[in-house]
Amino acid sequence: MNYIPVTDKEKQEMLAKIGVKTSDELFSSIPKSARIKDLNISAGISEQALIRLLEDKSKKNSSLKDFLNFRGAGIYEHFIPTLVEEITSRSEFSTAYTPYQPEASQGTLQSIFEYQSMIAEITGMDVANASMYDGASATAEAAMLSLRSSGRRKLIISGLLHPEYQQVLRTYLQGTDVDIEVIQQVDGITSLSKLKNFVNNECASVIIQSPNFFGSIEDLDEIRKLTTEHGALLIQVLNPLSLGILKTPGEIGCDIAVGEGQVLGSATGFGGFTFGFFAAKKALAWKIPGRIVGQTIDTKNRRGFVLTLQAREQHIKREKATSNICTNAALNALSGCVYLSGWGPHGLKELAGLNIRKSHYAYDKISKVKGFEPAFKNQLFFNEFVLRTKKNIDEIEKNLLSENIIGPFALKGFYPELSDCLLFCVTETKTKEDIDKLVAILGK
Amino acid sequence: MEKILIELSQEGQIGYSVPENDMGETDISKILPQKYMRATIPKLPQVSEPDLRRHFTKLSQLNYSLTTNFYPLGSCTMKYNPPVNEKIANLPGLRYLHPYQPENTVQGMLEILYELQDVFCQITGMDNMTLQPSAGAQGEFTGLLLIRAYFKSKNERRNKIIVPDSAHGTNPASAKIAGFEILPLHSEPDGHIDPAKLKEILTDDVAALMLTAPNTLGVFEKDILILTDMMHKNGSLLYYDGANLNALMGHARPGDLGFDIIHINLHKTFSTPHGGGGPGAGPVGVKKALEPFLPKPVINKNKNVYSFIYDRPKSIGKVRSFYGNIPVLIKAYCYIKALGREGLKKVSEQAVINANYLLAILKEKLPAPAGDRCMHEFILSGKPLNKCGVKTLDVAKRLLDYGYYAPTIYFPLIIEEAIMIEPTETESKSTLDEFARVLINILEEAQNTPDLLKNAPQNTPVSRLNEVEAARKPILRW
Ligand SMILES: Cc1ncc(COP(=O)(O)O)c(C=O)c1O
């Protein structure tokens, strides 16, 4: 297979115009010692053979289309309205580049402006950027913003921030001398008393996820008072879908809200369809990393959209840029845009309500199954919760798999002290019947 | 122009149908205390599905894209994206997987990723790879952290990275956030790096030189082996910005040239669509000595069983959640499988021929500061047009009127009035001929009717937009 339209005859004409006999002469600036004859990889194949090859490989995986899934832990299975994929698969969106020439990119630019507006609306924040790679790197960028803008060298993070986000945050800060203090949990939420011991005037920000990795909703009002008192920023990491019902970071008074946008209309994709959203208070607008689209007018006074505040960016500021992000996750963010635009405020609320109803139904039912009990007292949660079990966790997983169920996530990998605990996720995609089936098998 | 969503909103409309509630109508406030609930109502649009579909379809039509227009953007490699790759990435067995589902239920996926690492090693001449980085810049950042970790393990204090001024803006930005001090290196007027100038700034606290080759002027460093030798003798490493690997693939391998670390932009060389700004992927390859520091997890193969290995004590950690931008990786895998060794080699050959062919025609009309040979892209300077009162920007805008996306302009910063053109291998000779004809025509317009350029574009959905005003009084949301 190849996708080259130039014929052999044309190739000769082109070489003649260039003034060389063979194309080899065009590579003469590369040292002979490094030239290779051929790559040591397989020969090309036809489109038909390619499809066949990949279909065969795909069949070695168990797709969530064939399995009932009760696993979340950072990537969630939600219903995706057909229109979302219809729009994002339009090649006019998917094969465009970063909108450097705004007059020829109004579609991408306007949709980003709409995306920014809706992210700001659901989070209750003032401004949002055009997306980042994923929730983890957005969290790391938020932390770096707080360090930059405060000149302080200390961060406080909740131990219930997604463990992978904690790892990414540490990786991002490897080149600095920043101190990271991790606050442990009590009863499934970040310990307020421990937090109080650590927040002081040297602290750039406090980073709390809510709903947190265990699914619990944190009480952020108290934490907000603490950060304000000490001049630290409060950064909330969150599930945007929960904002159909839950108090917004804007209402709480957070300075920055970030998180994973995959829940807004992207498939689970083995964790690959991610985008980080990043929203902040107005005062931080010039310090936000990444691209931002602004509204303006053309020479005839018509409305149009452009990339703006670019003086913060790497292609102008080089090492003085607010971050190195260039390519972001625009198409996944477009999924988020189309997704949010169709539910409206009432639909989003109903959807969030469904998640709460279904997960609480499952919580109540499974808690009553012999061998299972709530891990924390009075866990307040959105669509994920933790149960403790006396049963063998590997056995549970095996049994469920044999019934085509991908069961809860075992916490033992990330939290060894909770080696008998399971994190269940139930979204609107599961019917009462699905949940009852899970309960029945767990009871066997 | 199309209205913005909120202007289409009608109280009471809804686009999507909310799934059935089979749980009963309990009051949510009986489940969660009121103090945790939102008090405000977000100003989200209320639009029916038919109107939403029209809205977004119309928006899509306001775009230039690769499937609608020739896109000769230098450094961005806007080549044809085969739709079969999209189709494959959407197969249920690849699309609907959970990142934490048991490893024995995702063996096909792990096999694809493992093989992909392997072919990237073959293509680049590196010993091992990580697929985790989500874009070129994140790849650079990863590579620089690997360099830090490497010297730290050897107890060497090296905190400087040399970055030529011909490098992409992400290079110095990435080096900075990785905690390095940046030593700028001035390139020569034709874009080359002079080894003598490198020598002047090469001290024993230099960790690495970051090089883009071919560089942003489309030329391959003629003294590359001298440069790599100098760095290694100094105990320093060489970082290869492989965003432009499409010029080299199948002809030479950065690993054989002495480079120690490389990132590759899959959304350029390997034909994955750019998505209007992403997602991309920026896998990083390293030589053996840097392997222990690669991000975790790594994929292991043992008797045809694949697994993730997390126990990597020297690893720099994770640079993103989960394993990478999987759909982008799958598309690159498909592309490589389809083209195979001959196909990939042909890609570079034709990319270089196409660029040189266009250069051969256009250098007769505009100066080519980096010389009259190039690799996959080349630079012209619009400087001579200034005497007609016309700037490179005006030429770019006029090209939009003729149905072409504009080339990259004012980049690299070191060339005055730069125009950077990258035709790629997937454009036909007639497309190139026609583009050259139009560009030459525009140069004539610049002489005779410069206002046509200065008032361009006129045939686009909006005319020239006021970017200064947008930055002065930012309106960033409805
Ligand atoms: C030479 C070069 N290096 C690095 C990058 C950065 O890659 P990305 O945009 O994927 O972060 C680019 C592209 O923008 C590039 O052209």
pLDDT of chain A, 444 residues: tens digit per residue? 899 999 999 999 999 999 999 999 999 989 988 899 999 999 999 999 999 999 999 999 999 999 999 999 999 999 999 999 999 999 999 999 999 999 999 999 999 999 999 999 999 999 999 999 999 999 999 999 999 999 999 999 999 999 999 999 999 999 999 999 999 999 999 999 999 999 999 999 999 999 999 999 999 999 999 999 999 999 999 999 999 999 999 999 999 999 999 999 999 999 999 999 999 999 999 999 999 999 999 999 999 999 998 888 888 788 888 889 999 999 999 999 999 999 999 999 999 999 999 999 999 999 999 999 999 999 999 999 999 999 999 999 999 999 999 999 999 999 999 999 999 999 999 999 999 999 999 998
d(CA B275, CA A133): 13
Q: How far is the CA of A326 from the centre of ligand 1 (A)?
A: 7
| Nearest atom in ligand 1 to B241's CA | 3
Q: B320, A55: Cβ pair inside 8 Å?
A: no
- pLDDT on residue A34: 86
Q: A271, B99: Cβ pair inside 8 Å?
A: yes
- pLDDT on residue B127: 98
d(CA A285, CA A288): 5
DSSP reduced 3-state for B238: strand
CA distance A212 to chain B (A): 14
d(CA B218, CA B353): 13
pLDDT by residue (tens digit) across B170-218? 999 999 999 999 999 998 887 889 999 999 999 999 999 999 888 878 8
Q: A95, B334: Cβ pair inside 8 Å?
A: no
Q: B477, A120: Cβ pair inside 8 Å?
A: yes
Q: A17, B360: Cβ pair inside 8 Å?
A: yes
Percent of chain A that is helix, strand, coil (3-state, to 5): 45, 15, 40
Distances (CA, A) of B217 to A26, A31, A313, B411, B425: 15, 19, 21, 9, 18
Contacts of A129 (CB under 8 A, 6+ apart): A116, A278, A279, A288, A289, A290, A291, A292
Q: Which residue in B49, B108, B170 is closest to A326 by CB distance?
A: B170
Phi/psi class of residue A318: alpha, beta or left (left: φ > 0; alpha: ψ in -120 to 50)? left
d(CA B279, CA A328): 6
Is A292 an 8 Å CB contact of chain B?
yes
Is A384 an 8 Å CB contact of chain B?
no
Give phi and psi for A199, each to the nearest 5.
-75, 125
| Tokens 């990330």, residue located | A414
Q: B467, A137: Cβ pair inside 8 Å?
A: no
Query: Nearest Cα to B372, choosing from B388, B385, B361?
Result: B361
pLDDT by residue (tens digit) across B91-130? 999 999 999 999 999 999 999 999 999 999 999 999 999 9
- pLDDT on residue A397: 97
- pLDDT on residue B412: 81
DSSP A412: G
Distances (CA, A) of A91 to A84, B148, B403, B461: 14, 41, 17, 19
End-to-end Cα separation, chain B, in angstroms: 16
Q: Which residue in B82, B316, B476 is closest to A3 by CB distance?
A: B82
d(CA B297, CA B317): 8
Residue B265 in contact with ligand 1 by CB distance below 6 A: yes
β-pairing, A203-209 with A189-190? unpaired
**H or E stretch at A220:** helix A220-229
H-state helical runs in B249-374:
266-269, 326-362
| Burial (0-12, 13-18, 19+ Cβ within 10 Å), A45 | middle
Query: Nearest Cα to B371, choosing from B385, B384, B359, B383?
Result: B359
Q: Which residue in B168, B176, B273 is closest to A319 by CB distance?
A: B176
CA distance B42 to chain A (A): 5
Q: How far is the CA of B140 from the centre of ligand 1 (A)?
A: 9
- What tokens does B279 get? 């997602």
DSSP B247: G
pLDDT by residue (tens digit) across B424-458? 999 999 999 999 999 999 999 999 999 999 999 99
**H or E stretch at A342:** helix A330-367
Q: How far is the CA of B217 from the centre of ligand 1 (A)?
A: 14
Q: How far is the CA of B243 from the centre of ligand 1 (A)?
A: 6
d(CA B238, CA B289): 13
H-state helical runs in B363-428:
392-401
DSSP reduced 3-state for B321: coil
Q: Which of B101, B124, B349, B425 to mutate to test the interface with A (most CBs of A within 10 A)?
A: B101
Q: ω into residue B412 within 30 of 0, thus cis?
A: yes
Q: A324, B323: Cβ pair inside 8 Å?
A: no
pLDDT of chain B, 478 residues: tens digit per residue? 899 999 999 999 999 999 999 999 889 999 999 999 999 999 999 999 999 999 999 999 999 999 999 999 999 999 999 999 999 999 999 999 999 999 999 999 999 999 999 999 999 999 999 999 999 999 999 999 999 999 999 999 999 999 998 888 999 999 999 999 999 999 888 788 999 999 999 999 999 999 988 887 888 888 999 999 999 999 999 999 999 999 999 999 999 999 999 999 999 999 999 999 999 999 999 999 999 999 999 999 999 999 999 999 999 999 999 999 999 999 999 999 999 999 999 999 999 999 999 999 999 999 999 889 999 999 999 999 999 999 999 999 999 999 999 999 998 888 899 999 999 999 999 999 999 999 999 999 999 999 999 999 999 999 999 999 999 999 999 9
Q: How far is the CA of B135 from the centre of ligand 1 (A)?
A: 8
**Other CB atoms closer than 10 Å to residue A163's CB: what's the count?**
18
Instruction: Indicate which residue's Cα is closest to atom 15 of ligand 1.
Output: B243
Query: Nearest Cα to A351, choosing from B28, B250, B179, B146?
Result: B28
Residues 201-230 of A with CB under 8 A from B: 217, 219, 221
d(CA A210, CA A279): 15
CA distance B469 to chain A (A): 7
| Burial (0-12, 13-18, 19+ Cβ within 10 Å), B270 | buried
- pLDDT on residue A357: 97
- pLDDT on residue A311: 80
Instruction: Tell me the whole-structure pTM to 2 decimals.
Output: 0.97
d(CA A354, CA A346): 12
DSSP B188: P
Q: How far is the CA of A354 from the centre of ligand 1 (A)?
A: 42
User: Across-strand partners of A386?
Assistant: A423
Q: What is the side-by-side strand order in the sheet with B128-130?
A: B128-130, B284-286, B261-264, B237-242, B206-212, B160-164, B181-185
Chain B hits for A351, Cβ within 8 Å: 18-19
- pLDDT on residue B218: 82
